[in-house]
Amino acid sequence: MSASTGFLPLFLAAGALVVATPVRAQPQIGEEGTFLIRGGTIVTGTGERIENGSILIQDGRIAAVGANVQAPAEATMVDAAGRFVYPGMIDAYTPLGLSEIGGINTMNLRSELGEFNPHMRAVVALNVDSEMMAVTRANGVTNVLTTPSSGVISGQAALVNTAGWTWEDLAVRTTAAYVVNWPREPSFRFGEPPSEAQTRAAREQAERETRELKDMLRTAQQYHRAREAGSTEWDQQYESMRALMSGQTPALVSADTEEQIRGAIALADSFGLKVIIYGGNEAWKVADELAEKAIPVVLGSIMSTPETDEPYDAIYAQPGVLHRAGVKFAFSTGSAANSRHVPYHAALAVAYGLPADAAIQGLTLWPAQIFGADDQIGSIEVGKLGNLFIATGDPLDIRTQVTDVFIKGRHVPPDDRHSRFYEKYNGRPKGQN
């Protein structure tokens, strides 16, 4: 299917001299250019559907969209007849770019020492040549929120494109959110049940971390106010938190239980923070309050199992419940290897009650809005980055093929680790064993 024809050997008629053709090296992320995508059905992501529409991409951005688009003479035509054009999908929580092969410590440096690291920036450590990133974009996932991990404040998550020459080229928002892990008692789900002493120690640790988190925010608030008032005293950590304390950049708080979610909301209230809930397995229990306070949720992987005492479909059905309550949400995988399959998380939500249109929004416009990047990505609108894909059908349908991917106006060739191995071994002469 998808691999570039540049890798196919050229066979000539018997008797003719076989000329070895050099493998055409394609720039892995494609060239920027002027493209006119025409003939397809455009699903703009803003609720509009344009049949037989055209999109002009110029200077990395969407220059025109509509039924009648005039293209300059130099535009490269991209035929989308019979196919569908969607805004690039967004995985709203993944280690993509920071993590590669699991189990290899040096390929998974997502965590700094210590519990409080608001100054750590994921963006500066992104590997633009991650094989997993290439696989991700091939399925139309053009943007991800890459997150640092562990501790109470892990650091700053970056909202990035999934193709680019440098991390600066990747970045859409270098600090899209501060990753906060609501202190929780470590899970004893596996193995022996904990002793009373262990349970107590775990609870005390969570309480201590919560106290320390509040202390740090209090100091950061004072620091921020002093700086606003003209103080020249400088602290690396507190300086890094000013966008958080001013409410400009949100805290993405990992919280699953009702208690944790309520804790995060109360904290946001008391410090005037902008907050996003991440994970949120029990967000449905707090849905009305989240809606009232306009607190969005980055859903944890839908491909996970509810607690034993929850309804069997609790995680599948939650997005539908949140949607009805008026809570804005985004889908995420939490995975680098399978960030590409974020639409199939959304598909499960549709099977259990979420309207299909809302699922598409949760993969495109809503995450863009949640991370304050809807001026750049999330829909097919003039002025936004040329981040979109062409597909044979509904992207929620696993059978759909993504045929073309554009990122930052580059027509990114479908060349990745998987397609390369597929070409090689699908082409192995049969029966030679």
Partner 1 sequence: MNRTGILAATAALFCLATAVSAQDVAIRNATILTITNGTIENGTIVVRDGRIAEVGSDVAVPSGATVIDGTGMYVLPGLIDAHSHMAIEGGINEGSESVTPEVILPIRDDDNTIYRALAGGVTSALLLHGSANTIGGQARVIKMRWGREADELVFEEAPRFVKFALGENVTRASSDAPDSDRRYPKSRMGVEQLLRWWFTEAREYEAEWKAYEESNDRNAVPPRKDLRLQALVDIMNGDIKVQAHSYRSDEILMLMRVAEDFGFRIWTFQHVLEGYKIADEMAKHGAMASTFAENWGYKVEAYDAIPHNMAIMADRGVTVSVNSDSGERVRRLYQEAAMGMKYGGMDENEALKMITLNPAKQLGVESRVGSIEVGKDADLAIFNGHPFAPASRVEKTLVDGVVYFDREQAMTLEKLLQAQTRVTTEDDR
Question: Contact residues for partner 1 (CB under 8 A)?
Answer: 1, 100-104, 131-132, 284, 303-305, 308-314, 316-318, 321, 336-338, 341, 344, 347-348, 350-353, 356, 394, 396-401, 417-418, 421-422, 425-426, 428, 430-433
Which CB sits closer to partner 1, 65 or 133? 133
Q: Which regions of 167-323 does DSSP assign to beta strands (E)? A: 171-181, 251-255, 275-279, 297-299
How far is the first Cα of the chain from the last one, in angstroms, to the nearest whole number?
26
Tell me the C-alpha distance between 160 and 145, whole Å. 6
CA dist 107 and 99 (Å) reads 6
Which C-beta is closer to partner 1: that of 56 or that of 391? 391
Least distance to partner 1, CB of residue 414, Å: 12
Instruction: Pick between residue 24 and residue 430 the one whose CB is nearest to partner 1.
Output: 430
Which is nearer to partner 1, 291 or 314 (by Cβ)?
Answer: 314
Least distance from partner 1 to the Cβ atom of residue 208, Å = 28
> How large is the angle between the packed helices 131-138 and 417-426, nearest 10 degrees?
80
- In the complex, the smallest distance separating the C-beta of residue 364 from partner 1, rounded to whole angstroms, is 16
Query: Smallest distance, Å, CB 337 to partner 1?
Result: 4
Q: What's the closest the beta carbon of residue 104 comes to partner 1, in angstroms?
A: 7
Give the shortest CB-110-to-partner 1 separation in angstroms: 15
- Based on CB atoms, which residue is closest to partner 1, 84 or 116? 84
Are 364 and 89 a contacting pair, CB within 8 Å?
yes
Q: What is the DSSP letter of 369?
A: H
Residues in Cβ contact with 324 at an 8 Å cutoff, skipping those fewer than 6 apart: none
| Cα 71 off chain centre by | 32
Residues 151 and 6: their CA atoms lie apart, in Å, by: 46
Measured in degrees and rounded to the nearest 5, phi and psi for residue 412 equal: -80, 120
At 268, is the secondary structure helix, strand, or coil? Answer: helix
Smallest gap from Cβ 98 to partner 1, in A, equals 14
The residue (of 244 and 297) whose beta carbon lies closer to partner 1 is 297
With b for 16 or more beta-carbon neighbours within 10 A and e for fewer, the 69-82 pattern comes to: bebeeebeebebee
Nearer to partner 1, 98 or 337 (CB): 337
Q: What are the start-end ranges of the E strands in 59-107? A: 61-66, 76-79, 84-87, 89-94
Query: C-beta of 239: minimal distance to partner 1 in Å?
Result: 37
